[in-house]
Structures are given as C-alpha cells and as structure tokens.
Chain A
C-alpha cells in the first residue's frame, strides 16, 4: 500500500508554545488530506479536510485559528497547534486520499504532549 509519513512521531512542548506536524504522501500526489485526533481508548475524530491550494474545511467545534492547516503542495500538509494547552495533548493522525480510488492511507501518527 501507499506510504504516508508524519513528522515528528512524538513531541513534548510547553503550554503556550506552537507545534507543527508534517504529513507527507511519499508515493502519490494527494490533492486531499485529512487530519484526525484520537484520545485514549477512543476512535479517530476528523478535525479538518485539507485541500491543496485552498483553505481547509474544519469540522464543527474545531477552532481554525488554533489548528492551522497548510496544504502547500500535492505531497505535504502541515498542522500547527498554536498556543498549545495540556488539553491539546492527543494522538494526531493524518491521511491522504488517492484520487480515483476509495483509499485513504493513514500516517503513523504524532503523539503530542503539552506540559
């Protein structure tokens, strides 16, 4: 299957700082990528849909000014958590949609811990 990478895999930051997470589609061009958040023992929750060259579409209840998404190229989307707080600590997972198929390929996830 296709490979989607995320960087970093783990990050610890102090409250009030910003953290950027990268999501890369390594072997296909992805016009659409997705960002999910997963709390312990819960399922993935869609945060936003990232479209190359246009603004992201955020799900209800997700603050677009706090979770900045940039999809500047067909292989890279970034999620920046601004002014992070401990309640933002979570597992963030991206996925990339391969056009012409039903497939969404998920990245390995990024564990964010805000102290």
Chain B
C-alpha cells in the first residue's frame, strides 16, 4: 500500500529560528516528491518538486532534500517568519499507467506554528 508519513505532526518555533520537517514514503513506482504549503482554509501551494535523480532543491528559504534509497525527504525552513505558520504536506507522485500526470499520495501534514 502506498503511504506517506510525516513527522512531527505539529511543531512550534520562535520567529527567526530554523526547522526541519521529515517525510518517509513507501510508494511505487516513484515518479516525484513534492512539498506543499497549505494555509488554513486555502488550497495547497507548491514549494518544491524533486524527481528521482534530484537530491536537493531550494525555493527561497525552503530547502527540500530527497534520499531515494532510504525513501526519505526533509523540508528545511530557514529564518522562519510568522507567515510560515501553515500545514506543510509531503506528496509523492506515483507513475500511473498510461498517464503522464501521476497519482498523488498525500501525507497527513505537519502543522507549523511560528510565534513572535
């Protein structure tokens, strides 16, 4: 069964601090791994997408890593801001037979709260 597990479930940090969120997956056949940010009551917004051959990708203060051998990924947030408070969702795309778009398997998300 394809699964994506994230840790921690929730995290509270002070503004300006760094943090790292974890994602483990058992998905096959693997296509790509994404990290999304979802604000409360809004749709997810893509932060990074990594394919099998990529092991790191940055988007501003967000840096994602991927270890395809151990099937682990992390999202590192640098110099956190109050606006970083959101749910961060790890999503793995499975190569769907006969299609190019892949089928997404979602993690439960990590709820990050940044306090002033």
Contact = CB atoms under 8 A, between A and B. Distances in A.
Q: Binding site of A, secondary structure by majority: helix, strand, loop or mixed?
A: strand
- Chain A interface extent, by class: 20 to 34
Interface string A34-57: 000000001111100000000000
Interface string A84-115: 00000001010101011011111111010000
Q: Binding site of B, secondary structure by majority: helix, strand, loop or mixed?
A: strand
Interface residues of B, number: 24
Interface stretch (B13-21, B37-45, B66-74, B75-83): B37-45
Contacts, number: 49
Interface string B84-110: 000001000100000111111011110
Interface of B: 31-32, 34, 36, 41-46, 49, 51, 89, 93, 99-104, 106-109
